[in-house]
Amino acid sequence: MQRSLLIDPGKCTGCVQCELACSLEKEGIFNPSKSRIRVFTFHYEGRFVPYTCTQCSEAWCMQACPVDAIALDAGTGAKVILDAACVGCKVCTISCPFGTVNYNSDTGKVIKCDLCGGDPACAKACPTAAITYVDADQTGYDKMRVWAGKTDAGAMASTQYGGT
């Protein structure tokens, strides 16, 4: 079963515990600038949005890499950087439409979320469950339930089938 990160910006308080946990897990230091996840702050709206690699099925980063330094982890479904093969050309950073592949100037290699090998530090550290690690096939169910609840038929179906 493939799993993925489910991010609910409505639950995010901007505490950046996810960034700190990620940087500690991946770099051994508490330094949000070394994190593979970012919390974007929208001051005027008073909201925060955690954002990281979506592990997209197209994986433009993987397709664009001229030295095949990005590979699929069959166990987690993550597209992972193979440090030994990465030459730091940054082609993958350009090809990612979401901007979630970044260059680490300390190592001369690129970095991106690899789901921590199936035990994401960001999800474990999130105190409000704004980031959870769930069955990939069910990432849209909560949104569907909310949308269904906005209609009379949806509210009846939600009640009938054990929804909230």
Report which residue type is found at 152.
D
Judge residue 150's burial from the number of C-beta atoms within 10 Å of its C-beta, 0-12 exposed, 13-18 middle, 19 or more buried: exposed
The tens digit of pLDDT for each residue in 59-108 reads: 999 999 999 999 999 999 999 999 999 999 999 999 999 999 999 999 99
Residue ranges of the domains in the chain? 56-112
Name 151's Cβ contacts closer than 8 Å, sequence gap at least 6.
none
- For 68-71, which contacts have Cβ atoms below 8 Å and span 24 or more sequence positions? 69/110
Q: For residues 147 and 161, what is the distance between their CA atoms, to the nearest angstrom?
A: 15
The fold for domain 56-112 equals: Alpha-Beta Plaits (3.30.70)
Among 124, 128, 70, 133, residue whose Cα is nearest residue 96:
70
Say what the pTM is.
0.81
Q: For residues 69 and 57, what is the distance between their CA atoms, to the nearest angstrom?
A: 17
The tens digit of pLDDT for each residue in 16-66 reads: 999 999 999 999 999 999 999 999 999 899 899 999 999 998 899 999 999
Host H or E run for residue 61: helix 60-64
